[in-house]
Amino acid sequence: MVTVGIDLGGTNIYAVVLDGEERLGRAKLRTPSTGDRTGVIDVMDAAVRDALGDAGRDIDEVTGVGVGSPGVVMAGTVGGASNVPGFLERFSLADLLKQKVGREVRVTNDVTAAAVAEHRLGAGRGTDDLLAVHVGTGVGGGIILGGRPFEGGAGGAGEFGHIVVRQGGAVCPCGRRGCVEAYAGRRAMTLAAERAKAAGTSTILFDVMEDKGKARATSGVFAAAYERGDTLVADLLDDAIEALGAGIASAVNLLDVDVVVLGGGFADRFGGWFRSRVDAAMRPHLFLQPPRIRVVAAELGDEGGAIGAALLAAEI
């Protein structure tokens, strides 16, 4: 018997098939960029079938399907995910996907799912208290306490990206001010670069984007502009690193976790240099002395969320 995990992202839908902790198959499909939630659920179902095909297994052998979803997840329902068509208004993803695939479905926040995977099989092995920080388009968080995913009374916990690090600071894509994500999310950084350019600041970021044939400033575009000495991008990275450092320290001061697992496309692209600087930016704010906290790189990459979702599906 096997479980299937799905990670639903704004760009891609990943699926993996697990037998216990062993990965038997995988699939990766594009997330629809238009349409409604039915279209998204159809692609999630297709990803399940593709991953099962890759594993040489049948849907009858699946004991449960786990989903790591963006937005705020509560008791199988999802809402507030602006980057997936039809996922802004709250609805029961568990019920709709169950009708489609014919298997029990457990839905979790996507970064919580990634945190479960890193805890069990990745960079968080050996600790039972960790915070996963995902730096990508936005900034997400997932929490493991006492070895279990911590989702809060109503499932709304883990919103690390919306810890306030600068009262009255920059506007965040969430509409509020001074959140970590207002400085450290790639979308917010792109908007800040657009505003700075419109105000006359010199930057090659958007030239690099065009040269690479990209429709948006990807992590690779930011990295290339930085490597070519773009001072605006360097300043934006400084702000992102300081915000992540302060936000992580705040979370550590509150939760006393042992390990922070830093992942996500943006953090992964910049690698060890970025992680070291976040670590250094965090330390001046740590209350507990000597600090026990370690900031480590996520090990499971793009598939972490799907793997964690499959691990959680084993508990259905």
Alpha-carbon gap, residue 104 to 65, rounded angstroms: 6
Q: How far is the CB of 178 from its own copies (least distance, A)?
A: 7
Q: Which is nearer to its own copies, 247 or 305 (CB)?
A: 247
Q: What angle do CA 86, 91, 93 make, to 5 degrees?
A: 90
254, 276, 280, 316: which one binds its own copies (CB under 8 A): 254
Four-CA torsion 162, 16, 316, 256, nearest 10 degrees? -40
Q: How far is the CB of 281 from its own copies (least distance, A)?
A: 9
32 SS3 class: coil
Asked if 126 interacts with its own copies (CB under 8 A), we say no
Residue 23's DSSP bridge partners are: 18
Distance of CA 142 to the CA centre of its chain: 8
Q: Which is nearer to its own copies, 15 or 157 (CB)?
A: 157
Check: CB of residue 151 under 8 Å from CB of residue 181.
Answer: no
# of chain residues touching its own copies (CB under 8 A): 49
Q: Which two tokens stand for residue 203?
A: 């930057």
Q: Which is nearer to its own copies, 10 or 39 (CB)?
A: 10
151, 230, 268, 279: which one binds its own copies (CB under 8 A): 151
Asked if 232 interacts with its own copies (CB under 8 A), we say no
Q: How far is the CB of 296 from its own copies (least distance, A)?
A: 16
Alpha-carbon gap, residue 220 to 201, rounded angstroms: 21
Q: For 5-20, b where at least 16 C-beta lie within 10 A, e where not — what string?
A: bbbbbbeebbbbbbbe
String of DSSP letters for 200-266: T----HHHHHHHTT-SS--HHHHHHHHHTT-HHHHHHHHHHHHHHHHHHHHHHHHH--SEEEEESHH
Q: How far is the CB of 83 from its own copies (least distance, A)?
A: 16
Asked if 113 interacts with its own copies (CB under 8 A), we say no
Q: Which is nearer to its own copies, 102 or 287 (CB)?
A: 287
Residues 160-199 that bind its own copies (CB under 8 A): 160, 162-167, 174, 176-179
Asked if 77 interacts with its own copies (CB under 8 A), we say no
Asked if 249 interacts with its own copies (CB under 8 A), we say yes
Asked if 87 interacts with its own copies (CB under 8 A), we say no
66, 122, 149, 155: which one binds its own copies (CB under 8 A): 155
Residues 279-308 that bind its own copies (CB under 8 A): 284-285, 287-289, 292
Q: What does each C-alpha distance from 104 to 67, 100, 109, 144, 261 come to in angstroms?
A: 11, 10, 17, 24, 30
Asked if 124 interacts with its own copies (CB under 8 A), we say no
Amino acid letter, 272: G
Check: CB of residue 3 under 8 Å from CB of residue 17.
Answer: yes
53, 58, 102, 154: which one binds its own copies (CB under 8 A): 154
Asked if 159 interacts with its own copies (CB under 8 A), we say yes
32, 70, 149, 158: which one binds its own copies (CB under 8 A): 158
- By the criterion CB under 8 A, which residues form the site for its own copies? 72, 80, 127-129, 141, 143, 145, 150-160, 162-167, 174, 176-179, 242-243, 246-247, 249-251, 253-258, 284-285, 287-289, 292
